[in-house]
Structure 1
Amino acid sequence: MRFSHSIQFNAVPDWSSHYIAYSNLKKLIYQLEKTVHQQSAGDAESRPLIQHEDPEVVFGRALDVELEKISSFYVVKEKELMEEVNDLLRDVGTFEEETGSTEGELRPPPTQSISDNRIPTRAVRLGSTSGRSRVSTEDGIEDSEDEGDETTALNTGRKRRSSFGRRKSVPANMMASTTDMTASTDLTRSVRRDSMAFDDYAEQAVLFSSGIMLKKRIVTLYVQLCELKSYIQLNQTGFRKVLKKFDKIMDRQMRAKYMETYVDSAYPFRPETAKGLEEYINKMVKAYMAIVTNGDEEVATRDLRSHLREHVVWERNTVWRELIGLERRAEAASLGHALLGRDADPKKLLRQGDDERLIPIKEISTPIGRFKLPAWLFSSAMLTLVAIIVIFFLLLFIPIMEKPEQQNCLALLVLVSLLWATESIPLFVTSLTIPFFCVVLNVFREKDLPHKRLGSKDATAAVFAAMWTPVIMLLLGGFTLAAALSKCSIDKRIATFVLSKAGTEPKTVLLANMAVAAVASMLISNVAAPVLCFGIIEPMLRNLPAGSDMSKAVIMGIALASNIGGMLSPIASPQNVVALGIMEPAGAPTWGQWFFIVIPVGIISIALIWLLLVVTFRPGKGTTIVPIRPVRDPFTGLQWFVSIVTLATIGLWCASHQLESVFGDMGVIAIIPIVLFFGVGILTKEDFNNFPWTIIILAAGGLSLGKAVNSSGLLHTVTEAITLRVKDYSLYGILVVFSSLILVIATFISHTVAALIILPLVFDVGNGLAEPHPTLLVMSGVLMCSAAMALPTSGFPNMSKFSSSIGYRGQKDADLCVLAAILKEDPAGQRYLQVKHFISRGVPSSLITMVVVITVGYGAMTITGM
C-alpha cells in the first residue's frame, strides 16, 4: 500500500487535519521538478508558479509549516492526556484505599433486591472525574460530554466537537442523576439502618460501579495514548519518505540533513518524549492490573491490547465502509451504463443482498404481466452468446463431414473459436468447456485404430493429459522468473541504467525506451514490460509540455516495441509457448535457433518503426528531456542470487537439446527456478496465486483443442482440402499467404487465440507438402501473431467496454501493451493517445514487421534448416 493511502487508513479520524500533508508535499515536489526543467517553457498560464528559488528552500519552508503544525498539536494533546492520566491515578489510589487493597479484582455484588437507591457521594466523585475534563480547541476551552457505556471502550469519545481532541466523560444520564443520588444519600444519612447485611451489599455495589468506571477510563486513556504514540511514528515516517522522494526526483541530498537538524530535534520526535509517553502507557497497564486483573501484568497487557485492537478495527472499518460505499456506487453507475446503454436510467437498479450491490434491471411486458429481469440478459454479449449456441447446435445436426466424430469436432471448433473471438464469456472459461465437450461429444479416436472412437473414460484421460504438458510447465517457469526479477527490482535497475545513458536527445531517448521495452518483454513477458517502462518514464512525461509529440511518440514506441519483444524469446508471450507445443512432434527449435532467427527480425523491425515514429511525430521539435537517473543502491546478495539463477536457467534452456538425455524437456528445467525461488522464500504463495492463471488455462485449453482436432481426423481432412488448393504454390508463396492471413486475424482477436486456432492447421499444411516444412511455417506464423499491432484492442469489444473492464480482461496478452498505452493519462486526466494515433502508426508498423519476417526471418529460418 502506498504511504499516502497508509496514512489515510491509520490516522485517527478526528486528528486527520493534523497529520503531515503527504500528498500535498508530493505535488509540490513535482511542481518544483517541472520548475527546474522548464522554467521558461510554455505560456504564462501553464508555466510553474514557483520560479527563481532554490527548490530546497521552497520545500524546506513547506516542511517547516508541517513540522510546526504537528508539534503544536502534539504539545496540546499530550498536556491534555497527561492531566487526565494524573486525575485517573489519583482516583485509582482513592479506590484502593477504600477497598483496603492495592490489588483488587472487579467482582459483581451478590444478587439481592434493595429497598432504596442510596449511593454515597464518593461514587459520583470517582466516576465523574473524567467527565469534566476541559479540552483545548481552536476557539477556546470547552467542556465535553460522553455517550459511552460502562463495559467497553469501543464507543468512548465518538461524539466530539473539538478539533484537537476527543470528548470524554461519563454518560449523561449518570450526570443528570448525580444531584438526586446525593440528595437521597444526605436525606437518609440519619435514618436507622435496617440490617448489616444490607449495608454490606450496598457497599459492594458502590465499589463495583466505581471499579467499572475506572476500568473504562483506563482503557480509554490507554487507547488514546497508543494513538498518540502512533501519531508520532506515522508523521516521522511521513517526513522520512517525502524527503526521500524529494532527493530522488530532484537529485539532492536533503533528507539526512533535515531529519537530523529539524525533525529529530523537534519535541514530538525526541527520544525522551517517546520514553515519557511509554511510561504513561505503562502506568495505565499498572492501573489496570490494580483494578481489574489482581496484579497479573500479562493478562492486563493482553486485555488492553485487545481493547486497542478492537478500537482500531472499528475506526478502520468505518473509513473502509465509507470508501467502499463510494466505490460501489460508482461501480453500479458504470455497470448500469455498460449494460443499459447511454440512455440508462440510474433509478432502474435492483438492490440485492445485504451488501446492497446494485444491479441494473429491465422491465418487460408479457401477456401474463410485467416482469423485472437483470439487464445483462438483454445485453449484446448475451444475444451474441445465444446466437453462437444456436450455430453450435445447427452444426451438430446438419451433416457436413462424413464421420460423426469429425462433425462433432467441427461444431466444437466453431463454438470455441466464436466464443474466443467475441469474448461473450471470459477466454479461460471457454477453455474450460473444451475438455467437457471433448468427452461428451466423443471426438477422440483410438491412436492405433483410427476408426474406433474412445469411450468417455479413456477420452477423459486423453484430454486432460493434453492439457498438462511440459509446455505448461515452461510457461510457469517463465512466470516465476518474471516475478522474481520484478520483486527484486532487477528489471527496473537494468532499465533505468540503460535509459540513464541515453542522454537528453529526443530521438535517442525514444530509441532507448523502445529497446528497453523490447528486452524487458523478452525477459518478463510483454504484458508486464509496458507497465514497468511507463513507470520509469513517468518523471519525463510529467515535465513535457501538455500535448507534446514526444509524449505520444515514446508511449507509442514502448507499446509497439513491447509487441516486437513478444517474439524475442520462447517465454516472452503465451503464443510462443503454444507454438513450441505444436512444433514438438517435428522437433521444436532450440533457444539458440530461436534467438538466431528473431534477434535480427526484432532489431530491424524496431529500427524501422522508430524511423516511422520520428518522421510522423517529429518528437525533437521544441522538446526538453529530463534525464532518467539510475538506481544508486548497491546490488544486494539477493539480487545477485536471482540474477545468477535466471541466467543459469536461460542457459540450460538454450542447451536443452544437448541436455535432452539429462532433463528430457525444457519443462523439467523450468522446475529449477520454481523450487529455488519459492523454496528459499524469495517468492511466496501469494506470488504463486498471483500468476496469470487465466493465461495458463487458456493455453491448456488450446492444447486440448488441438489434440481433439487432430485425434478426430478433422485437421487431416481440412489440411488435405487446403493442400490441394496451394499445391502449386512455392514454399515462399504459402509462407506469404499464411503470414498475411494470421496478421489480419490476430489484429482483431487475441494473439494467443489466433495461435491456438490457426497454428495447428499451418503445421499440418506444412507437413503435407511435397517437401515438408511445418516448423518453418509455424515459426513464421507465431512471429506474425506478435506483429499484429494495428489496433488499440485485439477483439471486437469497443474501448469503453475495455476501459471499464481492464481487470477482467487480463487474458489479452500482447494486446495489453497497446491497451495500456491508449489508457495512459496525463496529470490533467487527458489521454496521451487516441485511436487514430494507433491506426495511423500501428497499421504501417504491422506491415513493416511482416515484410521483415518474410524476408530476413525467412532467410534465417532457411539457414537453420527448418
Structure 2
Amino acid sequence: MKFSHSIQFNAVPDWASKYIAYSNLKKLIYTLEKKVNEAATAQRDDEERTSLIRDETDPDPIFRRALDNELDKIAEFYQLKELELYGELEELIKDKDTYLKTQVEELGNSTELDGSQLLNKRRITLSTNIPAATSPTSLSPTNGKRTGGAGASVAFQSDSDSENSEDELISSTSGGRRRKRASTVGTIGSNDLLSSKPRHRNSVVYDEFNEGLLTDLYDQRITLKKRTINLYVSMVELKSFIQLNKTGFTKALKKYDKILNRNLRDKYITGSVLPAYLFQESTVKNLGNGINSVEEVYAQLITNEDVEAAKKELRLYLREHVVWERNTVWREMIGIERKAQAANLGVRRTLLGADVPDERMRRQGDEAEPEKTELRTPLGTVTCPRWLISSNFFVLVISIAVFLALLVAPIFHSAEQRGCFAILVFASILWATEVIPLFVTSLLIPFLAVVLRVVREDTKPHSRLDAKDAAKYIFAAMWTPVIMLLLGGFTIAAALSKYHIAKMIATKVLSAAGTRPQTVLLTNMFVAMVASMWISNVAAPVLCYSIIQPMLRNLSPESNMSKALILGIALASNVGGMASPIASPQNIIALQNMKPEPSWGEWFVISLPVSILSILAIWIILLVTFKPGRGTNIVPIRPMKDPFTGVQWFISIVTVATIILWCFAHRLEAQFGDMGVVAIIPIIMFFGTGILTKEDFNNFLWTIIILAAGGLSLGKAVNSSGLLHTIALNIQHATHEMSLYGVVVTFAALILVIATFISHTVAAAIILPVVAQVGAQMEDPHPRVLVMVSALMCSAAMGLPTSGFPNMTAIMMEDNQTGQRYLRVKHFISRGIPSSIATFAVVVTVGFGLSRLVGF
C-alpha cells in the first residue's frame, strides 16, 4: 500500500487535517523537479547563467519551508491534544479515588449478614447484568472472618434470563457499536465467593441495601469505565500520530532526495524533526507512562487490580474501535477512488471503433446494474435475467450449437476424429471470444476428451481407450517437463523482481542513455526486450513503465516522445517474448512440439538476431511516425544507489547457473534428463531458503499455466485421435507444389493474422501442433523449422491493443495529473501493424535462414 493511502487508512478521522500532508508534498516535489529540469535545459549552454539560475531555483529552501509549515502544524496540534488528554487523566484519577473512597464509606457501614461481616473494602463487584432499576436476588458472603478496617466485598447475581448491558453502555468508544459479550467483566474470583452454607434471606438483603445507593455506585462505575476506555483509545491514537508523522517526514525527504538528486533528508531529520517536542524521546516516554496510568486506573476499577487483565481488555476495546473506524475510512477511500476513476475514464470507452462498455467501471460503479430486465415481445412484456440476453450468452449458445452439430456431422469417418474436431472448434471459439475465462476453456478440454473418448493408443492398432485409460493419458499431457520449465521461469522472474535486481540493472543501463530522445527510446526498447526474456513479457512492461515515470512527469501527455516511449516499450516487450524459451507460454508450447527439443543455445542463435533486428526496425518506424526529437527535453534516469546485497548476489548466481545449464541441456541429458528437471533448481534454492515465500508461489500466473496445459492436452488429443494426421495430409495436398520456404511463409502469415485478434498463447496452442504434423508429413521433413518460425510469429503479432499483454498494459497508461490516456487505438493500428509486418519480414528471412543453419 502506498504511504499516502496508508496514512489515510491509519489516521484518526477527526484529526485528518492535522497529519502531514504527504500527497501535497509529493506534488511539490514533482513541481520542483520540473522547474529545475526546465531551468537546467534552457541554460545548458551558458555556464554562468546556469549557475545563477541554479542558485535562484535551488529547491531546498522551498521544500524546507513546506516541511517547516507541516512540522509547526503537527507540533501545535500535538501540544494542545497532549495538554487536553493529560488534564483528562488527572481528573480521571481524582474521580477514581473519590469513587473508591465513597464506596468504602457508604458500604463499610453496612450491618453484618447472618454473622458474616463484609470484607475487602476496595473490591466491590457489581454484576454487569444488573439493570439500574433491578435489585439483586441473592447475596453470598465472601468470608467468615473479620479483617482490619471497615470494608466489604459484595457479589450480586441477577436472574438467569437477565440481559448483559454494560458493554452496550460503553458503546460510544466504538462509534455506537459494540457486540454483546457473555462474560461478566469485573467480577471477583471464585475464592471470594466462598460461603459456609447457602443462605435464603433475599428479603433481608433487599431491606439492608438501599436500591438508590446501588444504582448510584453502579452508574459511577460505568461512567468511569467509559471515560477510562475513551482516554486509553485517545492516548494510543496520539502515540500512533507521532509514529505516522515521523514516518511521513522520512518518506517525503527520501522521495525528495531521490527525485531531485539532493541530500536533504539526514540534515533535516537531525536538525528539525528529531528536536521537535513531539518527536523527542522524553515526550514519547511520558506518553507511554500516561497510557500505563490509564491501565492502572482500569485495573483498580474493573479487574481487581490485575493490570495484565486490564491491558488485555483495553486492547480488545481498542482493536474493536480501530476495526470499526478503519472499515468506515476504507469505505470512504474506495468511494473517492471510484469517483476519480469515473471522472477520468468515463463509464464507456471506444475500442476498435465500437462503443464498448467498460466492464471494470460498470462493476465498480456506485449503483449496481439491475439483475433483471424487461423484454418486450408481441405477446407482452417478459421479465428475464440480464445475463440471459447478454451477447456473451448468445455466443455461448451458438458455440454449443456448433459443437453439437460437428459431433454428428459426417466430416470425418472416425468417431474419434469427429469428436476431436468438435472439441478443437469449440475451444477455439471460446478462446477467441472469451465468453468464459481462458483457463476455464482449457480445463474443459480434458473433460470433453475423456467423456467423448477421442483418445486412442499410440501404437497400432490404435484402438480407442476407455475413460479410465484416457484420463491417465490426457492428464499426463497436461503436466510435462515444459510446464515445469515455465514454473522455473516464474520463480526466477519473481526473485529478480522482488529483490529489485531487474530494476537496478535496468536503471543502470538507462542512466547511461543520456538525454537524446532517439537514444533514450532505443535504450528503453532494448531494456524492455531483455527484461521480457527473464521476467516474462507480462511483467516487463510494468517494470519499464515504473522506471520511466520521472521522464513522463516532465513530458506533456500529448508529447510525441511520451507516446513513442510507451508504445515502444510495449512493442519491444512483444518482441522480447520470442527471445528466450521462458519469455512467453507460446515458446513452451513450441518446445513441446519440437522433437528433439532445441537447447537454449540453439534457441538464442535464432531468436536474438531476429529480436534485435526487429527492435531496430520498430525503432525506425516510431522515429519516422512520431518524430519524438522535436522540442523534447529528457530528464535522465538516475540509477539506484543501493548496494548489491548478499541475497541479491545469491539470486544472481543461481539464475546465471540455471541459464547456463539450460543452454547446455542436451549435453547434460545423462545427468538431468530434461530442462524441466533443471528448472527445479531455482525453485528449491529460492523457496527453500526463504527468499521467496508461499505468498510468492500463490501469486504465480496460474491461469497462464493452466492455459498452456490446456493447449498441450488439446494438441495431444488432436494427435492421438488421428485428426492431426488427417488435417496435415489435406494441407500437404494443398501445398504439395510449394517449397519448404513457401510453406513457412504461408503459415507465418496465417499465424500473424490469427494471433493479432486472439491471444498469442491460444494461437500457439491451436496451430503449432498442426504445423508440426504438416512439417513431418512433407517430402523433405523439417517440422522443427516450421514450428520455430511459427512460434516466433506468435510474438510478432502486435497490431491491436488486444494483441498480447504488453499492448493491454500500454493502452491503459495514464497521465497521473490529468488522468488522460497516452495512447489510443489509432496509435496501435498505425504503428503496430507496420511493426508486425516488419517483424514478419525479419522472421521469414533471418529467422528461417538461421533455423536452417542450426540444422532444424
Name the residue aligned to 2:666: 657
User: Taking structure 1 as reference, are residues 24 and 109 closer, same or farther at Cα in structure 2, changes over 3 Å only?
Assistant: closer
C-alpha change, 1:219 and 1:728, in structure 2 (3 Å) is same
Pairing partner for 2:266 from 256, 260, 268: 256
Please tell me whether residue 73 in structure 1 is matched to residue 77 in structure 2. yes
- The answer on 1:535 being equivalent to 2:535 is no
Give the corresponding residue for 2:149.
none
State the shift of 1:519 in Å.
0.3
Secondary structure of the residue aligned to 1:525 is helix
**Quick one: which amino acid aligns to residue 486 of structure 1?**
S
Equivalent residue for 1:229? 239
**Aligned twin of 1:184:** none
Question: Which letter does structure 1 place at the counterpart of 2:25?
Answer: L
User: Shift of the alpha carbon at 1:379?
Assistant: 2.0
Whether contact under 8 Å (2:453, 2:467) holds in the other structure is yes
Instruction: Determine the structure 2 residue equivalent to 1:480.
Output: 491
Aligned partners of 1:787 and 1:112: how far apart in 2? 78
Aligned-partner Cα distance in 2 for 1:831–1:336? 15
- Higher mean C-alpha displacement, 63-72 vs 99-108: 99-108
Distance apart, 1:256 and its partner CA: 0.8
> Any residues of structure 2 matched to 1:158-307 within 5 Å, and which?
158=175, 197-199=207-209, 202-307=212-317
Cα 1:828/1:321, change in 2 over 3 Å: closer
Q: TM-score, normalising length from structure 2?
A: 0.85
- Determine the C-alpha separation between the residues in 2 that align with 1:611 and 1:350: 41
Correspondence for 1:431 among 442, 451, 456: 442
Shift of 1:367: 7.5
Q: Using the TM superposition, give the Cα deviation of residue 223 of structure 1 relative to its aligned residue in structure 2, in angstroms.
A: 0.5
Q: Which amino acid aligns with 1:454?
A: L
Of 423-432 and 589-598, more deviation after overlay is shown by: 423-432
* CA RMSD in angstroms, aligned pairs only: 3.1
- Kindly provide the amino acid, as one letter, of the partner of residue 257 in structure 2: D
- Is the alpha carbon distance of 1:846 and 1:587 closer, same or farther for their aligned partners in structure 2, counting shifts above 3 Å? same
Q: Which runs of 5+ in 1 are unaligned?
A: 43-49, 118-147, 160-192, 795-814
CA distance in 2, matches of 1:514, 1:464: 40
Corresponding residue SS for 2:172: coil
Structure 1 residues 767 and 150 mapped into 2: Cα distance closer, same or farther (>3 Å)? closer
Q: Is the 8 A contact 1:150 1:213 kept in 2?
A: no
Q: Does 1:579 align with 2:590?
A: yes
Q: Is residue 855 of structure 2 the alignment partner of residue 831 of structure 1?
A: no
SS in 2 for 1:220: helix
2:478 aligned residue (464, 467, 489): 467
CA distance in 1, matches of 2:820, 2:513: 28
The reply on whether 1:22 has 2:22 as its aligned counterpart is: yes
Deviates more, 1:592-601 or 1:443-452: 443-452
**Counterpart residue type for residue 13 of structure 2:** P
How far did 1:99 drift?
A: 3.6
The answer to whether the Cα contact below 8 Å between 2:25 and 2:66 also exists between their aligned partners in 1 is yes
Q: 2:50 aligns to what?
A: none
Cross-structure match for 2:721: 712
Report percent identity of matched pairs.
58
1:350 CA displacement: 13
CA distance in structure 2 between the partners assigned to 1:679 and 1:103 by the alignment = 58
CA distance in 2, matches of 1:474, 1:500: 33
1:756 aligns with 2:765: yes
What is the DSSP-based 3-state SS (H/G/I as helix, E as strand, rest coil) of the residue aligned with 1:614? helix
Shift of 1:328: 7.9
Instruction: Give the conservation status (yes or no) of the 8 Å contact 2:174–2:321.
Output: no
Indicate how the Cα distance of structure 1 residues 556 and 205 shifts in structure 2: closer, same or farther if over 3 A, else same.
same
3-state secondary structure, aligned to 2:303: coil
Query: For the Cα contact (< 8 Å) 1:226–1:281, is it kept in 2?
Result: yes
Counterpart of 1:313?
A: 323
Contact 1:445/1:452 (CA < 8 Å) preserved in 2? yes
Q: What amino acid is the match of 2:513?
A: A
* 1:394 and 2:405 are equivalent in the alignment: yes
Residue 301 of structure 1, CA deviation: 1.1
Q: Aligned residue for 2:38?
A: 38
Tell me whether 319-328 or 620-629 shows the greater mean CA deviation.
Answer: 319-328
Q: Deviations over 1:532-556 (max 9, x none)?
A: 0011001001112342111111111
Query: So what's the TM-score if we normalise by structure 1?
Result: 0.84
Aligned to 1:690: 699
Q: Is the 8 A contact 1:35 1:51 kept in 2?
A: no
Counterpart position of 1:862: 852
Deviation at 1:235, TM superposition (A): 0.8
1:509 paired with 2:520, answer yes
Q: Does structure 1 retain, via aligned residues, the 8 Å contact 2:575–2:795?
A: yes
Q: Give the Cα–Cα distance (whole angstroms) in 1 for the partners of residues 700 and 801 of structure 2.
A: 25
User: Relative to structure 1, is the Cα distance of residues 153 and 239 closer, same or farther in structure 2, using a 3 angstrom cutoff?
Assistant: farther
What one-letter code is carried by the residue in structure 2 that aligns with 1:216?
K
Aligned-partner SS, 1:156:
helix
- Which position in structure 2 is the counterpart of 1:181? none
Contact 1:392 1:412 in 2 (8 A): yes
| 1:617-660 deviation per Cα after TM superposition (whole angstroms, max 9, x unaligned) | 22111111101000001111111111111111111111211121
CA contact (8 A) 1:748 1:793 kept: yes
Number of equivalences: 768
Is 1:842 equivalent to 2:851 in the alignment? no
Is 1:467–1:703's contact at 8 Å kept on the other side of the alignment? Answer: yes
Shift of 1:322: 3.6
- Greater shift, 611-620 or 703-712, is seen at 611-620
Once residues 596 and 18 of structure 1 are traced to their aligned partners in structure 2, the CA distance between those partners, rounded to angstroms, is: 62
**Matched residue, 1:6:** 6
Equivalent residue in structure 1 for 2:655, among 640, 646, 649: 646
What is the CA–CA distance in structure 1 between the aligned matches of 2:654 and 2:466, rounded to whole Å? 45
Instruction: Detail structure 1 runs of 4+ shifted over 6 Å in the superposition.
Output: 109-117, 193-196, 326-339, 341-344
Map of 2:126 onto structure 1? 107
**CA gap 1:840/1:300 in 2 versus in 1, 3 angstroms:** same
Q: Mapping of 1:432-831 within 5 angstroms?
A: 432-583=443-594, 586-794=595-803, 815-826=804-815, 827-831=817-821
What per-residue deviation string (whole Å, max 9, x for no partner) do you get for residues 248-297 of structure 1?
Answer: 10100111111111111111111111111111000011111111111222
C-alpha contact (below 8 Å) 2:173/2:321 kept by paired residues: no
CA offsets 1:60-110 (integer angstroms, 9 cap, x no match): 111111111111111111111111100000111122323446863643299
Query: Cα distance, 1:375 vs. partner?
Result: 2.2
Residue 60 (1) aligns with residue 58 (2): no
Q: For the Cα contact (< 8 Å) 2:557–2:820, is it kept in 1?
A: no
1:385-436 superposed Cα distances (whole Å, 9 cap, x missing partner): 2111111111111211011111111111111111111112111111111011
Q: Note the C-alpha offset of 1:318.
A: 1.4
CA distance in structure 2 between the aligned counterparts of 1:423 and 1:268, rounded to whole angstroms:
57
Q: CA deviation at 1:365?
A: 3.8
C-alpha separation in 2, matches of 1:753 and 1:522: 20
CA distance in 1, matches of 2:341, 2:269: 43
Is the Cα–Cα contact under 8 Å of residues 646 and 673 in structure 1 kept in the other structure? yes
In 2, the alpha carbon distance for the partners of 1:328 and 1:465 equals 46
Q: 1:154, 1:314 within 8 Å by CA — same for their partners in 2?
A: no
Deviation per residue, 1:704-754 (Å, 9 max, x gap): 111110110000011111112222221111111111111111111111111
Contact 2:576 2:611 in 1 (8 A): yes
**Inter-partner Cα distance in structure 2 for 1:412 and 1:314:** 52
Counterpart position of 2:114: none
2:96–2:224 contact (8 Å) kept in structure 1: yes
CA contact (8 A) 1:154 1:307 kept: no
Shift of 1:357: 5.4
- State the match for 1:45 in structure 2: none
Give the 3-state SS of the residue equivalent to 1:532 in structure 2. Answer: helix
CA contact (8 A) 1:578 1:756 kept: yes
- CA deviations over 1:677-717 (Å, ceiling 9, x no partner): 22222222221111111111111111111111011000001
Deviation, 1:57, is: 1.1
**Structure 1 residues 434-476: Cα deviation after superposition (integer angstroms, max 9, x where no partner):** 0111011110112224452111111111111111111111111
Contact 1:215 1:291 in 2 (8 A): yes
Question: Structure 1 residues 254 and 325 mapped into 2: Cα distance closer, same or farther (>3 Å)?
Answer: closer
